[in-house]
Amino acid sequence: MKKDLENIVYLIKEKRYTEVRKTIINFNSVHIGELIEELIEELDVSEAILVFRMLPKNLAAEVFNYISSESQEKIISSITDKELEYIIEEIYFDDMIDLLEEMPAHVVKKILKYSNVEERKLINEFLNYPDYSAGSLMTIEYVDLKKDMTVEEALRHIKDTGLNKETIYTCYVTGKRRKLDGIISLRKLILSDYDIKIKDIMKKDIVHVNTNEDQEEVARVFRKYDLISLPVVDLENRLTGIITIDDVVDVIDQENTEDFQRMAAISPSEEEYLNTGVWTLAKNRLVWLIILMVSATFTGHIIKKFEDVLQSVVILTAFIPMLMDTGGNAGSQSATLVIRSIALGEIKVKDTLKVIWKELRVSLIVGISLSFINFLRIYFIEKVSLYISVTVCITLLFTVVLAKIVGAVLPIIAKKLKLDPAIMASPLITTIVDAASLMVYFSIARAILHI
């Protein structure tokens, strides 16, 4: 891609525009979009617009979907009304909704100028769906059939209307008042006899979602049933639109990014890192850092409470970092696995006891192994007294068990409370486990060392 960009930049500077056009029209539309993004950064915006105008109209409309909202705004502000009108006519309805959500008011007004009354009504309806819901993801560009059609009639209907549909591989059978009666694949239609009725070969067991369903649940349904499209219905089971796999891939990417941010104790942001302001990044991180800093003061209070133990046996202090780090790491391992399993739908709230039982057994194996290795190191290599070595190793066992159970249970509790399980990730679990491990450590020290 870098070599292509350098070549295009060279040709533009040499004003060899015919060669530029011959070069770029053979590119994949995604690559052309990336190229235009790079040209906007490398050269003047006008040069990128020049390249965009060299594209055939249908290719230009397709490429438009693969560039960032910032670049889309620059292009819309620079091209003629006639060019914009063609793009708006050619892009899919759901992509236009996404475009309108990202653009400033003056650009939205310019776009809406080329939509008729019916389209504006639909646009307003789509924009009123809750953010991150199935309704906000769906498109109205699907193939609908009637159950009394024959296969021949259905295929003719697909040929007549399918060109402007986002997908034709799955067709939706609707009855009175757009009620969803069934679905049928294009493959099934092609392989069936022409005189067979659609109602005799359609599938009636339909997987669908409601318009208000959360986008994370939509992604889970796609993954579970291996779908390429999914019908969206309202409360009366009327077909209002479909969601296609390309939109769900974006959702999965967005949800994964959000989980990573939460697990790192950062407030989620949809902005790309390099496009996000310094103050915004600081604000997203500062709130959680303050919460964790304040909660970490409990650890200091615990150490202060057991100050007499530390003064009596100063060497106990040397093992505090190891115990706290091991506990935090052990808890993070369990939390990461459980959070991911919850996201994939593998663990439900009802599985809490199963998770605790599994993590208890795992933690005992891990804890005993770590304690045994640690005892050999402390007692035989570092020559620490037997009682202190035993104190540290017993504490380590209890810490690992406690950490793994806490790390596994907290995300499930968050799920039960309808919170994002990812917030119960490494930083928060580490803070809780640190305080608990210190309590255990000093309590065991008092009991064994008789302090």
Could you tell me the two tokens for 13? Answer: 């500077």
Using the predicted structure, report yes or no on whether residue 266 has a pLDDT greater than 60.
Answer: no
Q: Which CATH architecture has domain 144-244?
A: Roll (3.10)
pTM score over 0.75: no
CATH class of 273-449: mainly alpha
Distance from C-alpha of 285 to C-alpha of 78, rounded to nearest angstrom: 37
Nearest to 248 by CA among 256, 237, 239, 260: 256
pLDDT of residue 396: 95
Note whether 100 and 126 are within 8 A (CB). no
194-208, 227-241, 417-431: least confident range: 417-431
Query: Average pLDDT in the 127-156 region?
Result: 92
Note whether 110 and 84 are within 8 A (CB). yes
Using the predicted structure, report yes or no on whether residue 424 has a pLDDT greater than 80.
Answer: no
Nearest to 65 by CA among 38, 46, 40, 88: 88
For the segment 71-86, what is each residue's pLDDT rounded down to a tens digit?
A: 888 888 888 888 888 8
pLDDT of residue 352: 95
> What burial class does residue 91 get, using C-beta atoms within 10 Å of its C-beta: 0-12 exposed, 13-18 middle, 19+ buried?
middle
Query: Average pLDDT in the 318-329 region?
Result: 91
Query: Average pLDDT in the 304-332 region?
Result: 86
Nearest to 87 by CA among 128, 49, 121: 49
Query: Average pLDDT in the 93-103 region?
Result: 80
- CATH code assigned to 2-128: 1.25.60.10
Sheet holding 229-233, edge to edge: 209-210, 229-233, 239-244
Using the predicted structure, report yes or no on whether residue 241 has a pLDDT greater than 80.
Answer: yes
pLDDT of residue 382: 92
pLDDT of residue 367: 96
Mean pLDDT over each residue of the chain, to the nearest integer:
86
pLDDT of residue 8: 80
pLDDT of residue 158: 95
58-72, 349-363, 364-378, 417-431: least confident range: 417-431
CATH 1.25.60.10 intervals, the chain: 2-128
pLDDT of residue 94: 79
Query: Average pLDDT in the 214-219 region?
Result: 90
40-44, 139-143, 301-305, 398-402: least confident range: 40-44
Distance from C-alpha of 383 to C-alpha of 362, rounded to nearest angstrom: 30
pLDDT of residue 308: 77
Distance from C-alpha of 272 to C-alpha of 252, rounded to nearest angstrom: 16
The residue written with tokens 């959000």 in the block is 258
Could you tell me the two tokens for 377? Answer: 């190191």
Using the predicted structure, report yes or no on whether residue 271 has a pLDDT greater than 70.
Answer: no
Distance from C-alpha of 341 to C-alpha of 140, rounded to nearest angstrom: 33
pLDDT of residue 360: 96
pLDDT of residue 145: 96
For the segment 376-392, what is each residue's pLDDT rounded down to a tens digit?
A: 999 999 999 999 999 99
Distance from C-alpha of 231 to C-alpha of 150, rounded to nearest angstrom: 22
Q: Which residues contact 315 (CB under 8 A, 6 or more apart)?
A: 384, 388
Nearest to 392 by CA among 320, 328, 303: 320
Distance from C-alpha of 303 to C-alpha of 170, rounded to nearest angstrom: 64
Using the predicted structure, report yes or no on whether residue 272 has a pLDDT greater than 70.
Answer: no
pLDDT of residue 398: 95
pLDDT of residue 200: 95
pLDDT of residue 143: 94
Could you tell me the two tokens for 125? Answer: 């309806």
Higher pLDDT, 300 or 380: 380
pLDDT of residue 377: 94
Query: Average pLDDT in the 77-102 region?
Result: 81
> Which of 47-51, 270-274, 292-296 is the most confident on average?
47-51
Nearest to 412 by CA among 424, 430, 394, 400: 424
For the segment 355-414, what is each residue's pLDDT rounded down to a tens digit?
A: 999 999 999 999 999 999 999 999 999 999 999 999 999 999 999 999 999 999 999 998
> What burial class does residue 346 get, using C-beta atoms within 10 Å of its C-beta: 0-12 exposed, 13-18 middle, 19+ buried?
exposed
pLDDT of residue 263: 59
pLDDT of residue 417: 87
For the segment 104-132, what is each residue's pLDDT rounded down to a tens digit?
A: 777 777 777 777 767 777 777 787 888 88
CATH 1.10.357.20 intervals, the chain: 273-449
CATH 3.10.580.10 intervals, the chain: 144-244
pLDDT of residue 371: 96
- The percentage of residues in the chain with a pLDDT greater than 70, rounded to a whole number, is 93
Using the predicted structure, report yes or no on whether residue 39 has a pLDDT greater than 60.
Answer: yes
